[in-house]
């Protein structure tokens, strides 16, 4: 049975649009059809489907852009069983890890079923205001509580399953999935967590105390963040792309979602640990055992 291939691209990047056109042209020569949602169809000047039609028709999707594009794509397919494969035309590319030079070869490998599917955990966050749920959101990378433009410390009470844990003075708090552990959390000193580990990370941003350290919680834990004081400029960001106003006395409940996951297509030559070695440049410049050191 032929596969119905979706195509999502960051059409604001000329390189991504150019790559999309090349892949579509290759598909025509190979007898393959790529299905486009409304935005991509409009920008590329090609026929497309409505959002709901696209999501109900597609077997898997190619995502052309950087990790930001991949995060948007993950929200777009969150409630649908659509595996994603990212082709990186951005910078670092932990999620969009495909090489644009080998894009058509990689797509053919997926069509030949020479790939695996990896399920990634998703955070579920709820903002509780005066006893009611004000917002519900899902994040593949992280949920981040930060202050506004004025350089002031915020004090955040931390609870686990309703039990008081600590109170931290910091510039903000990052709650990250294993997938997001190599994003903002890593820059703030958090640990690298392999994506198959069912946990999430709490990482303070520039904590104003020496005892604050990143903490890892299990998939059975519910974390609550309660900002104290009368701050009127607090923001909760979802994957660094969507934001929600946080008011004094709001409570932010966060856990790993028990229902939603994002499926990534992984090729044999692009394992997670090989990706770590490449993107973080581990081992480069290190003298191998038995190799003489030379200045």
* 235 touches 148 (CB < 8 A): yes
Residue 250 annotated to the active site: no
Q: How far apart are CA 181 and CA 203, in angstroms?
A: 10
Asked whether the beta carbons of 176 and 138 are under 8 A apart, the reply is no
Residue 194 CA to residue 121 CA, distance in Å, equals: 11
Residue 33: phi and psi, rounded to 5, are: -120, 130
Q: Among residues 52, 59, 67, 250, which one is catalytic? A: 67
Contact by Cβ (8 Å): 160, 154: no
Q: HEC string of 92-151?
A: CCCCCCECHHHHHHHHHHHHCCCCEEEEEEEEEEEEEECCEEEEEEEECCEEEEECCCCC
Q: Which residues lie closer than 8 Å to 281 by C-beta, 6 or more apart?
A: none
What distances in angstroms separate CA 66 from CA 69, 78, 156, one per listed residue?
Answer: 5, 18, 32
Gap between the terminal Cα atoms of the chain: 58
Residues annotated as catalytic (active site), given as ranges: 67
């Amino acid at each position: 049975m032929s596969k119905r291939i979706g195509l999502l691209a960051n059409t604001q990047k000329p390189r991504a649009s150019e790559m999309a056109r090349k892949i579509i042209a290759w598909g025509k020569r190979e007898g393959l059809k790529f299905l486009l949602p409304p935005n991509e169809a409009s920008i590329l000047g090609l026929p497309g489907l409505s959002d709901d039609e696209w999501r109900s028709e597609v077997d898997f999707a190619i995502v052309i852009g950087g990790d930001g594009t991949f995060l948007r794509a993950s929200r777009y397919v969150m409630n649908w069983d659509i595996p994603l494969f990212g082709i990186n035309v951005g910078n670092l590319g932990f999620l969009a890890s495909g090489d644009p030079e080998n894009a058509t070869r990689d797509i053919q490998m997926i069509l030949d079923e020479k790939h695996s599917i990896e399920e990634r955990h998703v955070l579920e966050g709820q903002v509780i205001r005066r006893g009611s749920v004000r917002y519900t959101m899902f994040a593949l990378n992280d949920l981040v509580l930060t202050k506004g433009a004025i350089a002031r410390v915020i004090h955040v009470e931390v609870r686990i399953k309703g039990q008081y844990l600590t109170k931290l003075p910091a510039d903000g708090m990052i709650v990250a999935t294993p997938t997001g552990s190599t994003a903002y959390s890593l820059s703030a000193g958090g640990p690298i967590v392999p994506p198959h580990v069912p946990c999430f990370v709490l990482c303070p941003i520039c904590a104003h105390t020496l005892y604050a350290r990143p903490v890892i919680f299990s998939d059975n834990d519910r974390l609550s963040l309660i900002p104290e004081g009368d701050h009127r400029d607090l923001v909760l960001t979802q994957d660094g792309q969507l934001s929600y106003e946080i008011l004094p006395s709001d409570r932010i409940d966060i856990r790993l979602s028990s229902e939603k996951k994002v499926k990534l297509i992984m090729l044999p030559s692009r394992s997670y640990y090989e990706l770590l070695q490449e993107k973080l440049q581990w081992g480069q410049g290190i003298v191998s055992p038995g190799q003489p050191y030379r200045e």
